[in-house]
A and B are shown apart, each in its own frame.
Chain A
Amino acid sequence: MRKLLFAAAALLALAAPAAAEDKLKVGFIYVGPIGDFGWSYQHEQGRLAMMKALGDKVDSTYLEKVPEGPDAERAIEQLARSGHKLIFTTSFGFMDATVKVAKKYPNLMFEHATGYKREKNLATYSGRFYEGRYIQGVIAAKMSKSGVMGYIASVPIPEVISGINATMIGAQTVNPNIKVKIIWVGEWFNPGKEADAAKALIDQGADVIMQHTDSAAAVETAAKRGIPAFGQDSDMIKFGPKTQLTAIIDNWGPYYTERAKLALDGKWTSTDTWGGLGSKMVVMAPYTNMPDDVKNLAEDTEAQIASGKLHPFKCPVVAQDGSTVECKGGTHLDDGQILGMNYYVKGVDDKVPGK
């Protein structure tokens, strides 16, 4: 038995280098479990799409549930040492760890999602999710009879706040008097509490529910009450077959495929990608459970944003206190302003927690 094992090990040892030489090894670091059906799940879908597209030209490994902090550095380094040439780290909190490891291994290629620190061998990428939020706002305002939208928010960081603002601006194009009720759950992921928040919003008169938390609980709860809702991160139509209007889907597959291809061809460079509807990094799930005119309006809005004709933060953007926000991007707010957004726009009748 031992002999047999030894022989097998020797065979593997012989076979491995031959296979590894012509294949590009790609590594992925996920912050959550791939079973979260949200953020990490979508990155995993992206990895699978890349594997499918490039077939036997690439090999890939992923490490899931990697805590943000010192452990992350070890995990990234582990991938770097085990022959991975291209490594994607997929959470904001991995930023400093990725920078450190990237400096240590100048010959490898690194990519960090949602961050802003770049190196010669460290690129960044993220999705313009606020574009999808704007469309959701338009649909919500059309669908709401009470004129009150219910918004389940996670933690008050700029990405979430800009999402609320984009929703509001989109909704106001349909109904200038639209209101939004916001409940902060205080966590990204707590299905029970997300469901409770959805119930609370519905009980307080919101008749369309949207969320910036990670589970399908809100869509599911709204479906139970017959209230239309929007999915988050992935298509959650299964949880609300008669009530989900659409969902913002994080679509990483094409990006991962493209970057791996560039790496294979030796053309990879450090870039900063912030993809939206136009580059299909953000995709809308099919528009369902709404009248045709709303569907047409949604599709039209999507096309306009995708082509660049319409910008959700088109100037003038008026802040909650009535002041006009400085227009640094010419006709719309510039990316830095959106990435650092920490105030509500006019019409949001609430306070940013902790401000």
Chain B
Amino acid sequence: MQWLDLTYLQAIILSVIVASTPLLLAASGELVVERAGVLNLGVEGMMIMGAVCAFAGAELTGSTLVGTAAGILAGVAMAAIFALLTLGLAVNQVATGLALTIFGLGLSGLIGAGFVGQRITPAPQLDLPVLTDLPFIGKILFGQDAFVYGSIVLVIGIWWFLYRTRPGLVLRAIGDNHGSAHALGYPVLSLRTGAVLFGGACAGLAGAYLSLAYTPFFIAGMTAGRGWIALALVVFASWRPARLVIGAYLFGGVTILQLHAQGAGLDIPPQLMTALPYLATIVVLVAISRTRGVAGSAAPASLGLAFVPDR
């Protein structure tokens, strides 16, 4: 039976890792943003800007590294607009985030118009001598590109920051009650600005992964809704880094497995599978609200609320 074949299983796992990585990258940034009490719905827009600038950088210089940096910077620049509006001017976060997505999709198309139909050398896989050649696990654990390792390091770093450092504690406090945190003398707005910019960097990196490694070309709209899945993922993970990894690989896994199921002739409606990440998110939301009385809400209490410091 084909399903039991190790090389086939290995191939599936490799595809799942590739499909999950952009989700994980974008979602981990958004997790920090939301933990700080800010809801940035502009992930899709920041991501696509990251994708186009990364591609432009890599195409013009021939360097994946420069491209990646350009992608991150583009994400940060987009996030800076968001921070200026929602934190500086206390504009509604939901509206600004949506506007950021629409703006990003449009602007990226404009920037990318000259790069349509171009192709670059994909980001190299970092093969380790001996280790990569290990049977089965070798290619899975030691044959990925730098983005994949980066995403794992990133999530561990975020977990460590949020739960093991003092600034992380302050950030969570701000997200749960910005009024009290401000009264205690914590710099609410500057910490939130930092979080938003970090979120932009992660979304930009996720976009860079799409146009440099996943499919090494740029086409307008190539994020194809992944920014929204990342947003759903943060809720699915109930704002916890460890669950975020599980969620990202689950979402990525579902996508890949349904493709394989179809190829193998199993009769599963593809539309249902496409909707599954969102369905799962709704189920988790329901579960969270059911347990709210026992464990308190999982969402940061100040999420999405504008904060204007009094004198």
**A204 adjacent to B2 (CB under 8 Å):** yes
Cβ contacts B188-221/A at 8 Å (1 or 0 each): 0000000000000000000000100011110111
Docked complex Cα distance between A210 and B116 (Å): 21
Q: Closest chain A residue to B10 by CB distance?
A: A203
**A328 sits at the interface (CB 8 A):** no
In the complex, chain A residues whose CB is within 8 Å of the CB of B226: 192
**A350 adjacent to B265 (CB under 8 Å):** yes
Cβ contacts B216-249/A at 8 Å (1 or 0 each): 1101111011100000000000000000000000
Cβ contacts A195-231/B at 8 Å (1 or 0 each): 1110111011110000000011100110010000000
Q: Which of A16-24, A32-40, A162-170 contacts B (4 or more CB under 8 A)?
A: A32-40
**B220 adjacent to A33 (CB under 8 Å):** yes
Query: Chain B's nearest CB lies how many Å from the CB of A352?
Result: 11
Q: A35-B113, A203-B260 are in contact. Are A192 and B19 (CB under 8 A)?
A: yes
**B215 adjacent to A33 (CB under 8 Å):** no
Docked complex Cα distance between A203 and B260 (Å): 9
In the complex, chain B residues whose CB is within 8 Å of the CB of A34: 113
**B269 adjacent to A196 (CB under 8 Å):** no
In the complex, chain A residues whose CB is within 8 Å of the CB of B310: none
In the complex, chain A residues whose CB is within 8 Å of the CB of B12: 200, 203
Docked complex Cα distance between A197 and B8 (Å): 14
Contact of A204 among B219, B264, B270 (CB under 8 A): B264
**A258 sits at the interface (CB 8 A):** no
**A190 sits at the interface (CB 8 A):** yes
Docked complex Cα distance between A212 and B2 (Å): 26
**B270 adjacent to A189 (CB under 8 Å):** no
Docked complex Cα distance between A353 and B271 (Å): 9
CB contact list, A172-197 vs B, under 8 A: 181-187, 189-197
In the complex, chain B residues whose CB is within 8 Å of the CB of A220: 119, 215-217
**A191 adjacent to B215 (CB under 8 Å):** yes
Docked complex Cα distance between A220 and B214 (Å): 10
Q: A196-B255, A220-B215, A221-B215 are in contact. Are A35 and B263 (CB under 8 A)?
A: no
**B259 adjacent to A192 (CB under 8 Å):** no
Q: Closest chain B residue to A214 by CB distance?
A: B219
**B271 adjacent to A186 (CB under 8 Å):** yes
Cβ contacts A288-320/B at 8 Å (1 or 0 each): 000000000000000000000000000000000
Contact of A238 among B18, B117, B225, B255 (CB under 8 A): B117
**B217 adjacent to A216 (CB under 8 Å):** yes
Q: Closest chain B residue to A65 by CB distance?
A: B109
Docked complex Cα distance between A33 and B52 (Å): 14
Q: A186-B274, A203-B15, A354-B269 are in contact. Are A215 and B220 (CB under 8 A)?
A: no
**A81 sits at the interface (CB 8 A):** no
Q: Is the interface of B mostly helix, strand, loop or mixed?
A: helix
**A200 adjacent to B220 (CB under 8 Å):** no
Docked complex Cα distance between A193 and B255 (Å): 8
Docked complex Cα distance between A121 and B263 (Å): 46
Docked complex Cα distance between A350 and B268 (Å): 11
In the complex, chain A residues whose CB is within 8 Å of the CB of B260: 200, 203-204
**B270 adjacent to A353 (CB under 8 Å):** yes
Docked complex Cα distance between A221 and B219 (Å): 15
Interface size on A, residues (CB 8 A): 46
Q: Closest chain A residue to B116 by CB distance?
A: A35
Cβ contacts B15-42/A at 8 Å (1 or 0 each): 1001100100000000000000000000
**A41 sits at the interface (CB 8 A):** yes
In the complex, chain A residues whose CB is within 8 Å of the CB of B274: 186-187
**B117 adjacent to A192 (CB under 8 Å):** no
**B109 adjacent to A33 (CB under 8 Å):** yes
In the complex, chain A residues whose CB is within 8 Å of the CB of B112: 35
In the complex, chain A residues whose CB is within 8 Å of the CB of B267: 351
**B109 adjacent to A35 (CB under 8 Å):** yes
In the complex, chain B residues whose CB is within 8 Å of the CB of A215: 215, 219, 222
Q: A201-B263, A215-B215, A349-B265 are in contact. Are A189 and B221 (CB under 8 A)?
A: yes
Docked complex Cα distance between A204 and B265 (Å): 11
**A239 sits at the interface (CB 8 A):** yes
Query: Chain A's nearest CB lies how many Å from the CB of B120?
Result: 11
Q: A204-B2, A215-B215 are in contact. Are A192 and B22 (CB under 8 A)?
A: yes
Query: Chain A's nearest CB lies how many Å from the CB of B56?
Result: 13
Q: A183-B262, A192-B210, A195-B214 are in contact. Are A33 and B224 (CB under 8 A)?
A: no
Query: Chain A's nearest CB lies how many Å from the CB of B23?
Result: 10
Query: Chain B's nearest CB lies how many Å from the CB of A124?
Result: 27
**B270 adjacent to A203 (CB under 8 Å):** no
**A239 adjacent to B217 (CB under 8 Å):** yes
Q: Closest chain B residue to A190 by CB distance?
A: B224
Cβ contacts A320-355/B at 8 Å (1 or 0 each): 000000000000000000000000000001110110
In the complex, chain B residues whose CB is within 8 Å of the CB of A184: 262, 270
Given contacts A184-B270, A186-B271, A191-B217, 10 further A-B contacts (CB under 8 A): A35-B112, A183-B263, A185-B259, A191-B214, A193-B255, A203-B12, A215-B222, A238-B117, A239-B217, A349-B265
A-B contact pairs, 17 of them (CB 8 A): A35-B113, A65-B109, A181-B265, A186-B271, A189-B224, A190-B225, A191-B219, A192-B214, A196-B19, A196-B256, A200-B260, A203-B11, A204-B263, A205-B2, A220-B217, A353-B271, A354-B271
The 7 A-B pairs with the shortest beta carbon distances in the complex, nearest first, are A190-B224, A33-B220, A203-B11, A200-B259, A35-B220, A35-B116, A186-B270
Interface residues of A (CB under 8 A from B): 32-37, 41, 65, 150, 181-187, 189-197, 199-201, 203-206, 215-217, 220-221, 224, 234, 238-239, 349-351, 353-354
